[in-house]
Amino acid sequence: MDSSSAGSRRIAKLPEAAVNRIAAGEVVERPASALKELVENALDAGASRIEATLEAGGKSLIRVADNGCGVARDDLPLALERHATSKTALGRDGDVDLFAVSSFGFRGEALPSIASVTRFSMTSRTADSRSAWRIASEFGRLGAPEPAAGPLGTVIEARELFAATPARLGFLKSDRAEMQAALEVVRRLAMSAHEVGFTLLDRREGAERKLFNAPANESRLDRLTRIMGAEFKESAVPIDATREDVRLSGYAGLPTLHRATPSAQFLFVNGRPIRDRLVLGALRGAYGDLTPRDRHPVVALFVDLPPRLVDVNVHPAKTEVRFREAAIVRGLIVSALKHAMAEAGARTASTLSIAALGRFAPQRPIASAPSLHRPVYAASPIVEPTATELREGDEPLWSPEMIDGRSAPQAPEIEPEEADAPLGVARAQLHDAFIVAQTKDGVALVDQHAAHERLVYERLKTRLAETLAGGGAAPSQQLLIPDIVEMEPGAAERLIAEAEELAKVGLTIEPFGGAAICVRATPAALGQVDSAALLRDVADELAEKGESRSVRDRLEAVCSSMACHGSVRAGRRLRLDEMNALLREMEATPGSGQCNHGRPTVVHLSLGDLERLFGRS
């Protein structure tokens, strides 16, 4: 259309049906999003049991039945009008307080949006009604309520999704993919409401297959275990912390329990499943040097706070939120997770033990023992224990001083029968690289280099933190010729505003006119740095998080490198007292279950595991 013809057209109001279909594009992207809205409505209605049935991945049928409070006959037509809802109360001035939302829904858009793109029907009965009532809509064309048979609660059926808008069907995926997306929706909502029973059925050719079933009134941990697997229950620690009016609860997997994608990170705010950048960033900060690069921890975290402190009115899908006190929420998540991981000490995920057992392969019967009928199990390859005497010329691991200048701890003499410590008592060293310790109920295998690397790293980080907390500054290197870096005006302002804080970590800057920054000193531990790149990283982080951690992160990365090079290497023969001293400090050091790069430092095998290896159980 050319500009002349466009200018001659009069402004006209869109038909109601077109408005509803446009709005439906934001709310109903696929069958899973429609299912999410219907299940959330059932939860808002106080249902204790919800059953969802899908056919063709939800393209042919989405049916949700609940035993909630139901909808009165006179309210049925109103329920299918846009922006009509029972979940937000009007004030005296007739306005709605959108910052006091305590329910899943509040926009009044879900039902009319779904009804506008499906053959829709809703049958509902309230406690004070003798019969149920049904209302139907044919792609937005609403009928009148009529009597129907039905129990207390509501049954909603949405058929032939997007049949009136065929172009939308082309954007949907296969039936299997859509069903998987629907299953994920039900799983997340089932985590949120562990006291509610959920069932998801897949209907094919008249037969129904149960994809998910969870009874009502489960404990939170049992519900999470049902969804995330037994390994999560065995390898997770409870989280329960409060700061001001914000509470964080749930369970966090040990650092050695991780995935290739963040799909196993479940986050909830006031019971609402969300995908929030701030919370995901807090997770990365808490697990920063505990998990391998490009791996993601497994967590199920629940943030509860007064509705006025969080804005859920960000997007119609309601999966994004904005916190009024974002720094408090982020700080609570980081500190609570770090404290929980520190409490876990050298504990590692049960998956490591399972993987270790899997490395033991059945060998052919030994030739000198033909009478044996069972396969003999041995490690592959078979290793011979080495002597533990210190070679001449080797320096003891713990003498004369630690890397931070403190006196070395004296390893206590522990009697074998009194060895109740988590990592037990050292018995041998294999290949001058691995420590074998006998625990109260099994065996612990320790990678001596990885373990010592974590210990040294934690000491260096503590020393850096003490320096900064004491009002001092990290060592810096003065530039013979200051670097002048041209920045964007906004970025330059953010950097200058934080100049005093940056000086504490060894980065000295000052304004140089306009949007230029003069760099006079950089952190000594960083060595040669690109001043421009460093300032850009710091400025970007200031814009995103409000505080710069880039320099601190780089300093800690240098600490990690120093720890790696300053730790006992594989091939170093240790005495028994040195090995025991290493075990005792591992038990007292946060995060000692994994090295700085996220690799495990210890694998536990129970006595039952050992007995199974030899066919004794």
pLDDT tens digits, residue range 308-346?
Answer: 888 877 766 667 788 888 889 998 999 999 888 888 766
Q: What pLDDT does 538 receive?
A: 78
Contact present, 275 and 188 (Cβ < 8 Å): no
For strands 310-311 and 322-323, give the pairing: antiparallel
d(CA 323, CA 325): 5
> Which residues, 6 or more positions from 591, have their beta carbon under 8 angstroms from its beta carbon?
255, 289, 290, 341, 342, 454, 458
pTM greater than the 0.95 cutoff: no
Structure token digits, residue 145: 């309520």
Contact present, 551 and 523 (Cβ < 8 Å): yes
> Phi first, then psi: what are they for 426, rounded to 5°?
-65, 135
Q: Which residues pair with 242 in a beta bridge?
A: 247
DSSP 74: G
Low-confidence ranges of the chain (pLDDT < 70): 1-8, 14, 16-27, 83-103, 105-108, 315-318, 345-419, 468, 525-527, 541, 544-570, 617
Q: What pLDDT does 282 receive?
A: 87
d(CA 336, CA 155): 42
Q: What pLDDT does 597 receive?
A: 75
d(CA 252, CA 344): 11
The residue length of the chain stands at: 617
Q: What pLDDT does 466 receive?
A: 76
Residue 242: half-sphere exposure toward Cβ, Cα within 13 Å: 5
What domains are there in the chain, each with its CATH number? 16-214 (3.30.565.10), 220-344 (3.30.230.10), 377-617 (3.30.1540.20)
Structure token digits, residue 305: 């706070």
